[in-house]
A and B are shown apart, each in its own frame.
Chain A
Amino acid sequence: MSAPKEQSETQGRRNRSAGRPAASVNMDELRELITLLRENGLVELELENEGFRVRLRREAAVTEPAPIAAPSPAPAPAPAPEKPAAAPAPGGPTHPGTQATTAASQDQDLHIIPSPIVGTFYRSPSPSADPFVKIGSSVESETVVCIIEAMKLMNEIQAETSGEVAKIYVENGQPVEYGQPLFGIKPQ
């Protein structure tokens, strides 16, 4: 079950400027990473490079541990700015993609894979299976990176670009909306 064909035209945001190579990590860089994690409202950050691997994780306010059927929305996300600049009124609705969009907007050097459809994001073909890709995985344009379930159909999403997975913006089992960033790919 592959995603609709239109998706490729709609992936407008392509940024192919080269990222800087992170050879090793020292304490300063680690602090920087933690700040990055917090500021972008990320829950998990994994960095792997030449035998070196850092994995940072923090408690999100409420993040569902991937319920298979009808995951509850209203994820009451960790505080993240969610105001579209032009809109007048205070407040605003809960958008599933707000956090990821904010996070991805910082990653100018990455190619973003957006969700082509609205649905539920799964990183692996089944709950017990290994994820399709992890941080550091190499992807080709045909590589399946995740599944988005919509109306009980499992849509395999392909990378449509090549490079290395640098960011995963969505937790397994979370709802995603159209255009929401899913992965950040470092072009090679």
Chain B
Amino acid sequence: MLMAFNPRKFKKILIANRGEIACRIIWTCKEMGIKTVAVHSDVDRDSLHVRFADEAACIGPAPSAQSYLNIPAIISTAEIFNVDAIHPGYGFLAESPYFAEICDACNIKFIGPRANIIRLMGDKIEARRAMNEAGLPIVPGSPAGVTSEEEGLKLARDIGYPVIVKASAGGGGRGMRIVRSEQELGKALETASTEAAAAFNDGTVYIERYIERPRHIEIQVLADEFGECIHLGERECSIQRRHQKLMEESPSTVLTPELRKEMGEAAVAACKKLGYSSAGTVEFLLDANGNYYFMEMNTRIQVEHPVTEMVTLADIVRNQIRIAEGEPLGYTQDDLLIVGHAIECRINAENPETFAPSPGVISAFNLPGGPGVRVDTFVYSGYRVTPFYDSLIAKVIVHARTRELAIARMKRALEAMVIEGIKTTVPLHQKIMDDPRFRAGDIGTDFMEYFLARNGRKAAAS
């Protein structure tokens, strides 16, 4: 199992993704002198990732199942173009152990951790058990799937209310229910299980204690294939709507250097114990008393990785590629540098008030620039935002010496982020930047509920 692949330098990489992340990967490949192959569906022909790749192939029609999730088409393209490796980006096949195994079998390096780790972390119950064994604290909860209401009631009594019912195969908030009393539990188990079965084809749910107003804090790790592992500090991702992150920052306003060190070292130790390799993110819930609990691990590059890149000066994609090439990490934990403060706003093609998707043609587009501003995007003036994929069209990332300066910088960057023809979340982010609680750093995963209520839109939150 160890080193099933001979280390070698990559000449050409296929990017099995679309959108801003495909562009993001292409930029680093260009800097590394690696040729890129883009794959795309027939509606993505005019997307920038296709434009800037060295080679490209249309692999199927618009529905993801027939294009970006179409493993035979992607492998076939990889073989035709004779690529050394495949970068899966995030979403689509990024966390498919099956895809990673097929890449291995076809002698194409999958840029990510080994398939067995992806599989383990993909099963949220197993992941929690394994990470707990590897030393990470977890939220008190059921050790396995809950099969009956009786069992659920007994477990919940031991755990203590409020509890949260979650889908074992879950993510993105589907199959989740917060339960504050015994009477609600039966129905919550049933609806969560139904939702989970519909969304993930697996109706298994589990119960754990619900932590009120927690923060979502995640630790970025980098591990090579020789057992070396470091962390790159944390990202504060508490600003979410329906468990979808909207804005992220690094560092968090509540992590003391001691807590950062403790959480970082715990994450690294667990990753080492599991034999993790490549970039990964260990997600924690942090309560008001500084207790942290392992939630899940994402075995891929994340949407919000740029905030870490800004404050650490690391190129995470570059490190993923280097590690996949079989290079040693080359850094120690002492090399970690955290400079200033970074914020990322996700610009979605959505109505900023109702959050309804807003596809259409972008009639005018201006990118903000100037000091300390980075925009990751794949759209341009004249681009048609299709309804087939997720609504993320750009990420505006700023970096400044302090959080206060970063907020000021984000405000003026958002002002210059002009997107006409469709509705976007730019105005929402502008309002958040002016919110007193946000400015004070007083945020938790309930922030959006508070924010939308304050701005007269209670219904939109959940």
Taking Cβ atoms with an 8 Å cutoff, the residues of A that contact B are 6, 10, 70-74, 84, 86-89, 91-97, 117-120, 149-151, 153, 175, 177-180
Contact = CB atoms under 8 A, between A and B. Distances in A.
Q: Give the interface centre of A71, A74, A120 by most chain B CB atoms within 10 Å.
A: A74
Given A177-B58, A178-B42, A73 B80 contact: yes
A96 B80 contact: yes
A58 B140 CA distance: 73
B51 A178 contact: no
B54 A93 contact: yes
A72 B82 contact: yes
B59 interface: yes
A172 to B, nearest CB: 15
Contacts of A150: 72-73, 75-76
14 contacts: A10-B61, A74-B81, A87-B380, A88-B382, A94-B54, A95-B56, A96-B80, A117-B73, A151-B72, A175-B57, A175-B81, A177-B57, A178-B67, A178-B73
A123 B58 CA distance: 21
A70 B75 contact: no
Contacts of A71: 80
B contact face: mostly helix, strand, loop, or mixed: mixed
B51 A97 contact: no
A70 B382 CA distance: 37
A94 B81 CA distance: 11
Contact of A86 (B46, B57, B80, B81): B46
Categorize the interface residue count of chain B. 35 or more
B42 A179 contact: yes
Given A73-B55, A74-B55, A178-B42, A86 B382 contact: yes
A54 B80 CA distance: 33
B50 interface: yes
Contact of A118 (B53, B77, B106, B380): B77
Interface of B: 37-39, 42, 45-46, 48, 50-61, 66-67, 72-73, 75-77, 79-82, 106, 380-383
Nearest to B66: A6
Question: Which 9 residue pairs of A and B lie closest in terms of their CB atoms, listed nearest first?
Answer: A150-B76, A93-B56, A175-B80, A177-B57, A73-B81, A177-B58, A178-B58, A94-B55, A93-B53
B61 A178 contact: yes
Given A84-B45, A84-B46, A88-B380, 14 more contacts: A10-B61, A73-B55, A74-B81, A86-B383, A87-B46, A93-B50, A93-B52, A93-B55, A117-B76, A118-B58, A151-B106, A177-B58, A177-B77, A179-B42
A88 B382 CA distance: 9
Contacts of A178: 42, 57-61, 67, 73
Nearest to A115: B58
Contact of B56 (A94, A117, A149, A179): A94
A93 B38 contact: yes
Nearest to A95: B56
A151 B80 contact: no
Contacts of A175: 57, 80-81
Contacts of A151: 72, 75-76, 79, 106
